[in-house]
Chain A
Amino acid sequence: MSTLLPTEDEVMLADAARGFLDEAAPVSHLRAMRDEGKTHDAALWAEMAQMGWTGVLVPEEAGGSDMGHAAAGVLATEMGKTLVSSPFLSTAVIAATALRQVTDDRATEALRKIAEGSVVYALAVDEGPKHSPETVDLAATADGNGFRLNGAKSFVCDGIAADRLLVLAKTEAGTTLFDIPADRAGITRDAMAMVDSRDAARVSFADVEATGDDVLGNVDDAMTVLRPALEAGQAALAAEMSGVAAGAFGMTVGYLKERKQFGTEIGRFQALQHRAAHLWSETEVTASAILHAGRQLDEAPQEATLAVSLAKARACKTVTLAVQEGVQMHGGIGMTDAYDMGFYMKRARVAAEWLGDYGYHAEVVARARGL
Chain B
Amino acid sequence: MSEQDLETFRAEARTWLEANCPDEMRDGASGDDNICWGGRNWQFTSDAQKTWLDRMAAKGWTVPTWPVDYGGAGLSRAQDKILTEELRRINARLPLQSFGIWMLGPALLHFGSHEQKLKYLPPIARGEVRWCQGYSEPGAGSDLASVQTRGERDGEDYVINGQKVWTSYADKADMIFALVRTNKDAPKHLGISFLLVDMDQPGVTTRPIRLISGSSPFCETFFDDARTHVDNIVGTEDRGWDVAKYLLTHEREMISGGGDGLLAGRSLGQVLGDEGDALSDASTRAMALECEVDTLAMALTLERYKDKAKTTGVGDASAMLKYYGTELNKRRHELMMLAGGSDALEWDGAQGSLPADWLRTKANSIEGGTSEVMLSIISRRILELPA
Contacts and interface: CB of A to CB of B under 8 A. Distances in A.
Interface of A: 3-5, 253, 256-257, 264-265, 267-268, 270, 273-274, 276-278, 280-281, 284-289, 291-292, 306, 310, 313-314, 317, 362-363, 365-366, 369-371
21 contacts: A256-B385, A265-B385, A265-B386, A268-B386, A268-B387, A273-B376, A273-B385, A277-B374, A280-B320, A280-B382, A280-B383, A281-B320, A286-B297, A288-B298, A291-B300, A292-B300, A310-B296, A370-B269, A370-B273, A371-B269, A371-B273
B375 A371 contact: no
Given A284-B301, A284-B317, A366 B289 contact: yes
A366 B298 CA distance: 16
A277 B378 CA distance: 6
Given A253-B385, A365-B289, A371-B279, A288 B303 contact: yes
B290 to A, nearest CB: 7
Interface of B: 267-270, 272-273, 279, 285, 288-290, 292-294, 296-298, 300-301, 303-304, 307-308, 311, 317, 320, 323-324, 372, 374-376, 378-380, 382-387
A361 to B, nearest CB: 8
Contacts of B290: 362
Given A277-B374, A278-B375, A366-B288, 6 more contacts: A273-B383, A284-B324, A310-B297, A365-B289, A366-B289, A371-B273
A280 B317 CA distance: 10
B375 to A, nearest CB: 4
B289 A371 contact: yes
Contacts of B317: 284
A356 to B, nearest CB: 13
Nearest to B322: A281
A288 B301 contact: yes
A265 B323 CA distance: 25
Q: Which of B270, B297, B380, B385 has the most CB of A within 10 A?
A: B297
B269 A288 contact: no
A319 B272 CA distance: 30
A5 B300 CA distance: 11
B387 to A, nearest CB: 8
B287 to A, nearest CB: 11
Contact of A365 (B279, B293, B372, B386): B293
Contact of B292 (A288, A317, A365): A365
A290 B203 CA distance: 55
Contacts of B308: 5
Contacts of A3: 304, 307
Given A288-B303, A362-B290, A365-B296, A280 B267 contact: no
Given A366-B292, A370-B273, A371-B272, A276 B385 contact: yes
Given A273-B385, A371-B289, A285 B375 contact: no
Top 7 closest A-B pairs, CB basis?
A: A370-B269, A277-B378, A273-B379, A4-B304, A288-B300, A369-B267, A267-B385
A205 to B, nearest CB: 36
A102 B148 CA distance: 73
Nearest to B323: A281
A280 to B, nearest CB: 6
Contacts of A253: 383, 385
Contacts of A256: 385
B385 A268 contact: yes
Contact of A314 (B293, B307, B324): B293
A317 B289 CA distance: 13
A267 B375 contact: no
Contacts of A5: 304, 307-308, 311
Given A284-B317, A285-B294, A277 B300 contact: no
Contacts of A274: 372, 375-376, 379
A270 B323 CA distance: 16
Contacts of B379: 267, 273-274, 276-277
Contacts of B268: 369, 371
Contacts of B267: 369-371
A362 B289 contact: yes
Contacts of A288: 297-298, 300-301, 303-304
